[in-house]
Structure 1
């Protein structure tokens, strides 16, 4: 498996610090479904062992949550290793027909905002009226129905939203795919908060997918095509930063320079853009608050999205923003390092183990007694919301931007 860097593989000393943080090891207790076990499989591939369906399955089972990267005392770049490995799996492994069909559906749909938007009307009808046919869908497809949030109306956003008061920065805003289609209110709240904090917000209407789902699944060429579109959209837009409000997209865009490093046309602009990507809370942490906060008497449990906390190292900033709201009580969730089971489209491809992880996370969330669950990723909002419903519990969910927006405007959080 020549596409895996042998030096990175050799960094692992098999200490086992990664084991307690790995969701699949927590579920199954199998060495080959732990980070160090998968690294051992990578080494065997480098030595010429065949890529069997069983070995490919262990690589597929990884959520890519990067909790092991945070836990590793040796600095092993498991995130790079698993992405390199998945490129090889995609190139060399032939999946069974049902698996190929499901992946074709997933990657033919989720990275395409217009296709997702076209699903909103039939999904709305199903949510309003129900359908015995859809209720009998096979497990993986019924998972999509269970995860889907209530369909919301599209919220038109201007191509440029001017700063309120003194302009402090000009920022681009990624609207995303799932975020744009199913959480338009999050994008609207993000834009309003950025403007209130002194940013001109540039929101190109024709922007496409950033390529995060593709790059995390080993579909490197597809990811590069999407990434070039993002570079064309934002690299020459006259912005000081590109703000992202979805954790998985942000972590991928911060690596867009590496993804396009071998492209002589795009490499310089991609490298520039990668260095100017910032999570929503990260940018606001740098700027510091200027917009007055009104009291918001709510209790919230904050969930660390894996690709924000582990991949980007952004943990304190969203908590500081929430603590800056008068009247808000912030509660921590037990076992915060363990993934909720969303992991991009992992919960669609692996619904049963994802439901187990979702149930664990939902139980820990409900144990806080909070009124609201707050996080910074649409997949986490859907996954944990589904877990709470399956447990028979109730909790309202919101993005960090929505909480700040409500406080700045002096209104209640949207239900």
Structure 2
């Protein structure tokens, strides 16, 4: 388990929580310690430690609310949580653990000074990932290093891993980069216009998975939507919010609300599960902001995952097989946690995949367990993330699937690396990619 400080009994803040949005006593009291969350919790599955289960962390939150000091041990247990929300799905009492862990992490980030190495890594992450322009600057040298083999040589030396396991994880997770692909400011509907939708282009998604954004725009247009992708849009704040950087997340949220309000669209479509989850939740993030509380509620109600809006609209464009000669293909769909557990979007992507001729959809064993990506968790906590990724890869391989599909770039990177470690290369694509191929009559296999 990751450790914040060597002396795990050391008090870091007394009392544990200040008066600004501490974990809600009312929400804490909803937990009846039934244990239904235990088998779905990734860290409890790994370590079998009560304090690394949702109900154990709730006990620590309750102790903090009652006046106990915030200790290094408590911070360790809070940091170890992936925030996957599988416990929310499994809880028969409706405990809003998602609210609780976000409230707790904001307190920790505000009140705890982390060790120098951890601070440096977090500073680098949050001065890079939420800023597409900075990622764009990084993109060219990274692509050159990949194509020349330099990145592979550096990895073999182990120098980066000795310097920082987090940096080594970041290096290994980088997807193979091709030419940069962009999305136009407006993509007109094909045929009769049925909707006008805004499209979040994202940060990592925009610069490292531009082809997924392009496929998303084409699919939406083929199904009768004018697609508006404001060029001035920025980060949605998901990584910041999920890591407790509340003021930063709020600033990103306000800017994005302004951007899409000015765009005048019916819905805002998202093709990254973590981003969509946060955007639908702006109503809680900005609840205390008199200028944005109502706007956040209205904005969140218009946010749709790509699969949601396509099912709502209903198909009009013809689907084609995605395998050569139209043969049947076994497809496994991996549920991104923030789509399945946070947004409760489960049936829609399966319905879309089943609508493709020749697709035989199979379920992944223990599909509710996180793959270990969880935003930047796999960089901040590479060891448990790697173990979870390897478990997920093994479960996927047991399905015998020829094609893997998911709706989140983080999952794509995490599971792709795990499959490589297992010595297997199974084609792994975003939902938008497989739908786009089907609509255009292109094959993926």
Normalised TM-score (structure 2): 0.91
Tell me which moved more, 242-251 or 45-54.
45-54
Tell me which moved more, 335-344 or 88-97.
88-97
Alignment of 1:96-245 (within 5 A): 96-131=115-150, 132-133=153-154, 135=156, 136-138=159-161, 139-245=165-271
Separation of aligned partners in 2, 1:261 and 1:35: 25
Q: What secondary structure does 1:357 align onto?
A: helix
Q: What secondary structure does 1:365 align onto?
A: helix
Alpha-carbon offset, residue 134 of structure 1: 5.0
Change in CA separation of 1:387 and 1:133 when aligned onto 2, cut-off 3 Å = closer
Alignment of 1:331-410 (within 5 A): 331-410=362-441
Q: What secondary structure does 1:81 align onto?
A: helix
2:53 corresponds to: 34
2:291 corresponds to: 265
- Per-residue CA deviations over 1:290-338 (Å, capped at 9, x if unaligned) read 0111122332110000000000000000000000000112111100010
Alpha-carbon offset, residue 27 of structure 1: 0.5
Separation of aligned partners in 1, 2:137 and 2:317: 37
The total of aligned residue pairs comes to 414
Aligned residues of 2:321 and 2:443 also touching (Cα < 8 A) = no
Alpha-carbon offset, residue 110 of structure 1: 0.9
Q: Structure 2: where are the runs of 5+ without partners?
A: 1-16, 324-328
Tell me which moved more, 244-253 or 288-297.
288-297
Tell me which moved more, 65-74 or 392-401.
392-401
Aligned residues of 2:233 and 2:256 also touching (Cα < 8 A) = yes
Separation of aligned partners in 2, 1:51 and 1:152: 46
| Candidates 36, 47, 68, aligned match of 1:49 | 68
Q: What secondary structure does 1:253 align onto?
A: helix
Aligned residues of 1:53 and 1:93 also touching (Cα < 8 A) = no
2:305 is the counterpart of 1:274 = no
Separation of aligned partners in 1, 2:432 and 2:191: 20
Aligned residues of 1:163 and 1:196 also touching (Cα < 8 A) = yes
Alpha-carbon offset, residue 228 of structure 1: 1.0
Q: Structure 1: where are the runs of 5+ without partners?
A: none
Alpha-carbon offset, residue 142 of structure 1: 1.2
Aligned residues of 1:299 and 1:371 also touching (Cα < 8 A) = yes
Aligned residues of 2:230 and 2:263 also touching (Cα < 8 A) = no
1:289 corresponds to: 315
Alpha-carbon offset, residue 371 of structure 1: 1.5
| Candidates 310, 313, 317, aligned match of 2:344 | 313
Aligned residues of 1:152 and 1:183 also touching (Cα < 8 A) = no
Aligned residues of 2:182 and 2:206 also touching (Cα < 8 A) = no
Normalised TM-score (structure 1): 0.98
Tell me which moved more, 355-364 or 156-165.
156-165
Aligned residues of 1:235 and 1:269 also touching (Cα < 8 A) = no
Q: What secondary structure does 2:357 align onto?
A: coil
1:61 corresponds to: 80
1:13 corresponds to: 32
